[in-house]
Amino acid sequence: MNLAIYNWNLLEKYFSNLSFPKNMLIDVLKKEFSTFKIDSLNIVFTTKKHIKELNKEFRQIDETTDVLSFLLSEKPREGEIYICSECAVEKDEKEILRLIVHGCLHVLGYKHKGYFKEESKEKEIMFVKQEEILENICSNLNI
């Protein structure tokens, strides 16, 4: 898996006391997602303004959000995840990790609308998987 993290300085701006360095996070994420079929993944930390623009352009929602995921290619599976560092500023570093996992699961095809019975089951499956993966990552990062 090819994994890159961009704008780490934006994350550090809002989370000055991160307990893990960028390279350690990359190693842990690669290990955790090695069983999934993701060939290439970019994680991009961004601002409220930028993520709002992306949300409006690609989802036609004129609002800020905390995470956006894009599947760029299915074969090979390539994706990008945009995380708003500013949106997560009131939360702890575990929340940043949760957003990364959440975005990865969307790249893998997991969904969570949850309005109808079938979608509610999809939502439950996604969030159970998310928390399971998150706990593994936190354990490997000693959080």
> Residue 70's Cα: distance from chain center in Å?
10
> Residue 108's Cα: distance from chain center in Å?
11
Whether the per-residue pLDDT at 131 is higher than 90: the answer is yes
Whether the per-residue pLDDT at 117 is higher than 70: the answer is no
Overall number of domains in the chain: 1
pLDDT for position 89: 65
pLDDT for position 139: 95
| Of residues 126 and 4, more confidently modeled | 4
What pLDDT band is residue 115 in, cutting at 50, 70 and 90? Answer: very low
Query: 83, 105, 90: which is closest to 8 by C-alpha?
Result: 83
pLDDT, tens only, 15-73: 888 999 999 999 999 999 988 989 999 999 999 999 999 999 999 999 999 999 999 99
Residue 81 sits in a domain of what CATH number?
A: 3.40.390.30
pLDDT, tens only, 96-114: 999 999 999 999 998 876 5
Q: Where in the sequence is the domain holding 50, given as residue range(s)?
A: 2-140
pLDDT for position 80: 97
Q: Token digits for 92? A: 């702890």
pLDDT for position 91: 73
